[in-house]
Amino acid sequence: MRRTVGVLVMEHIAVGSVEGHKVVGPLSIFPEKPQSLDPLQSMPAEGIVDCIRQQVDKVAGGEKIAAVGIGFPGIIRGGVVEDSPNFHQAKGFALQGALSAALSGKLAGAQVRVFNDADVMAAGIAATQGKLNKLMRVWTLGNGVGFGRYPSSEGIWEGGHSVVTLDAKENFCGCGGRGHLEGILGLRSMRLRFLDLEPEEVFENARAADARCAEFVMLCHRALAAATATSIHMEGPGMFFVTGPDVRFIDIGLLDRLLHEMVKMSPLQGSRFEVVPTSDEMGIIGAAVNADRATQN
């Protein structure tokens, strides 16, 4: 059985060795302890590559590996980060080639593949649920909003930047665009919108019947339902998974009701949502599975 390594880059770097769709051994995490400021956002792209290399070295343990799969935020094509609103310093960076060149010793020659971080979450869910033959769509909620799709397909798939409102005042998205889902539901965007409250406080206040916060919480759910409805109208109905650090903010029952208000054509009905607990392991497995499949085809 081929041994691969999965890498997930989000608010931190998490790396693990994968065999048979399972993580084998302990994960390697950078930074080891959570920090109030994200060290990766201020780190040069070359520094991120070096951090990834060190963690891959650690989990490989001196053994030969077949492939390294990386999940990274942004538009990824041909191993190049064409754009990444969460990591502006990586725009245009050839991440795949840089890590391939940095690997040495028994790791030299391991095939490296880079994918969007939400796509590897979708692959991880498909692998762990034994559904690698199914279409899987996943929303990841965190500092930004990711839309993952399995199997990987040519295209941009930046569903977090779906336009869900025509209100010209909705300009909080990190990419600079107006009316985007991420500009409503992303953590960064919430903090810009509510300069006097943390996101957790906004949702707590909504539950306590604060009108301003309750209105925003409804907006969040309508926005996510609208982006999901767009996907359904483009690719058909199915299961949508919701994961990420901020999935705790989502009321799945409300989301289902709003979605069914937006999708009325009978052949497109029947979709539903399921929350998947957030874990680095899921993304690591997905990155490894995608890399393994890509390097064997």
Q: What is the CATH number of the domain that holds 179?
A: 3.30.420.40
Q: Are residues 267 and 285 in the same domain?
A: no
* Residue 123 reports pLDDT greater than 90: yes
Q: Are residues 243 and 169 in the same domain?
A: yes
Q: Are residues 57 and 8 in the same domain?
A: yes
Q: Is residue 57 part of a domain?
A: yes
Domain hosting residue 142, numbered range: 133-275
* Residue 90 reports pLDDT greater than 90: yes
What's at 225, amino acid-wise? A
Q: Are residues 17 and 35 in the same domain?
A: yes
The C-alpha atoms of residue 69 and residue 110 are separated, in whole angstroms, by 10
Q: Are residues 289 and 241 in the same domain?
A: no
With pLDDT > 70 as the criterion, what percentage of the chain qualifies?
A: 98
Q: Is residue 97 part of a domain?
A: yes
Q: Are residues 193 and 94 in the same domain?
A: no
pLDDT at 11 (0 to 100): 84
Q: Are residues 100 and 203 in the same domain?
A: no
CB 194 within 8 A of CB 214: no
In this prediction, residues 165-186 reach a mean pLDDT of 95
pLDDT at 37 (0 to 100): 62
Q: Are residues 153 and 232 in the same domain?
A: yes
CB 214 within 8 A of CB 171: no
Global pTM exceeds 0.75: yes
Using one digit for the tens of pLDDT, what is the confidence trace for 223-282? 999 999 999 999 999 999 999 888 999 999 999 999 999 999 999 999 999 999 888 999
Q: Are residues 66 and 199 in the same domain?
A: no
Mean of the per-residue pLDDT values of the chain? 93
Q: Is residue 127 part of a domain?
A: no
The closest of 79, 126, 128, 82 to 101, measured between CA atoms, is 79
In this prediction, residues 48-72 reach a mean pLDDT of 95
pLDDT at 277 (0 to 100): 86
Residue 42, exposed/middle/buried by CB under 10 A (0-12, 13-18, 19+)? Answer: exposed
Q: Is residue 287 part of a domain?
A: yes
Q: Are residues 205 and 100 in the same domain?
A: no
Q: Total domain count for the chain?
A: 2
* Residue 154 reports pLDDT greater than 90: no
Q: Are residues 196 and 138 in the same domain?
A: yes
CB 284 within 8 A of CB 250: no
Q: Is residue 192 part of a domain?
A: yes
Q: Is residue 227 part of a domain?
A: yes
For the chain, the first-to-last Cα distance in angstroms comes to: 16
Q: Is residue 128 part of a domain?
A: no
Q: Is residue 236 part of a domain?
A: yes
Q: Are residues 141 and 258 in the same domain?
A: yes
The C-alpha atoms of residue 19 and residue 288 are separated, in whole angstroms, by 9
